[in-house]
Amino acid sequence: MVNESSGRKSDSRNWAWLVTCFFLGAAAGVLGYSLLGRPASSPGASGDRMPDIRLQTLSLQTGPSLAACPTERCLTVYVAPWCGYCRRGTPLIIALKRLLERNGVATRIIVGMDAMEAVREYASEFGPDTLLDPDSSFRVSGVPHFIISDASGSVAKKVPGLPPYDDPAGVAAYLGLPHAP
């Protein structure tokens, strides 16, 4: 005589194991995608566009629309005062902005996701043209966040987190931007 209850336990364990493996695999895929960033694509291929919003600058001017870029390509970097990775990357972001300006790529730095006082204080490290976004009008899925767009505002690439390089030329190359010294 076969014990039917042990057969049922075995079947339920197999199902539990299969479901667990499925969810672990899905979680690993999501984690891998978020750590590696969006793969490079042709401009506008993602269908994303920069929003038509104008943020105030540190110098109390209304900045240009994020939907337009004054050069063929733009880099927009979003950081927050409370973000340790952003703080650690500040000197690199400043050096990257200088390098890209020499290579004809406009760079916009947005400081947000915090109270105006903290946003202004952190923005002062980047200069008077830094854009302020204490209300998170421009939405990103984490900070720091690097977004490459073209002159018409089509998003070509989004990279969450700090790129894995310690020098501005390495970061520019990683982002697919010109990086001649």
pLDDT tens string 147-163? 999 999 999 999 999 99
The CATH number assigned to the domain with range 56-175 reads: 3.40.30.10
Q: Write down the pTM of the prediction.
A: 0.75
Token pair 């790129």 is found at 163
What was the pLDDT predicted at 30? 41
What was the pLDDT predicted at 106? 97
Query: Is residue 44's pLDDT more than 80?
Result: no
What was the pLDDT predicted at 180? 86
Domain chopping of the chain, boundaries:
1-36, 56-175
Query: Is residue 9's pLDDT more than 90?
Result: no
6 vs 147 pLDDT, higher one? 147
pLDDT tens string 74-88? 999 999 999 999 999
pLDDT tens string 103-127? 999 999 999 999 999 999 999 999 9
Instruction: Using alpha carbons, select from 56, 54, 168 the residue that is nearest to residue 101.
Output: 168
Question: Is beta strand 106-112 parallel, antiparallel or unpaired with respect to 73-79?
Answer: parallel
Instruction: Using alpha carbons, select from 30, 138, 122, 116 the residue that is nearest to residue 83.
Output: 122
26 vs 109 pLDDT, higher one? 109
- 27 — pLDDT class (breaks 50, 70, 90): low
Amino acid symbol at 152: S
Mean model confidence pLDDT for the chain: 85
What was the pLDDT predicted at 36? 43
